[in-house]
């Protein structure tokens, strides 16, 4: 089964990002396909490379980055939600005249079309967060 995942709550303030990560790893282990995870609303904050949680806590962004690298999962961050929250990749930072970017490895910024496409191309769309 092909499963698409939507994460719409931020890390460390809500369990959505952790629950989604555990769901995706379990789905992959069970032999399902998870071609894409779409981060929307405050969920885009999962993708910041600047988070530095205490050493004895889980590192949510790093977990997602490793998942993308190990399993080829497409991690897409909504561009509108990202820009509102100061989340920029290198191209957007340049385009917006900013001197820095903060998108973590393994994530990419794109539009809502990617969410719609995911909904069409998967058998199920599972959401985490409001």
Q: Please write the tens of the pLDDT for every residue from 74-114.
A: 999 999 999 999 999 999 999 999 999 999 999 999 999 99
Query: Which CATH number does the domain 3-128 belong to among 3.30.70.360, 3.90.1150.10, 3.40.1260.10, 3.30.360.10?
Result: 3.40.1260.10
pLDDT of the residue at 130: 84
Sign of CA dihedral 36, 39, 43, 44: positive
Q: Which two tokens stand for residue 15?
A: 């369990």
In contact, 11 and 129? CB cutoff 8 Å: no
pLDDT of the residue at 67: 97
Average per-residue pLDDT for the chain: 96
pLDDT of the residue at 106: 97
Q: Please write the tens of the pLDDT for every residue from 44-63.
A: 999 999 999 999 989 999 99
Taking alpha carbons only, the member of 52, 48, 60, 54 closest to residue 20 is: 60
User: Which residues are known catalytic residues?
Assistant: 78
Percent of the chain's residues with pLDDT above 70? 100
């Amino acid at each position: 089964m092909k499963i698409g995942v939507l994460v719409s709550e931020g890390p460390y303030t809500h369990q959505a990002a952790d629950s989604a990560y555990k769901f995706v790893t379990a789905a992959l282990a069970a032999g399902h396909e998870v071609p894409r995870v779409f981060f929307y609303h405050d969920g885009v904050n999962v993708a910041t490379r600047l988070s530095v949680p205490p050493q004895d806590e889980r590192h949510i962004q790093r977990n997602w980055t490793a998942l993308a690298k190990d399993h080829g999962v497409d991690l897409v961050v909504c561009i509108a939600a990202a820009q509102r929250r100061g989340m920029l990749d290198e191209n957007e930072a340049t385009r917006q005249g900013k001197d820095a970017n903060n998108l973590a490895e393994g994530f990419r910024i794109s539009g809502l079309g990617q969410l719609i496409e995911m909904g069409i191309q998967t058998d199920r769309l599972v959401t985490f967060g409001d």
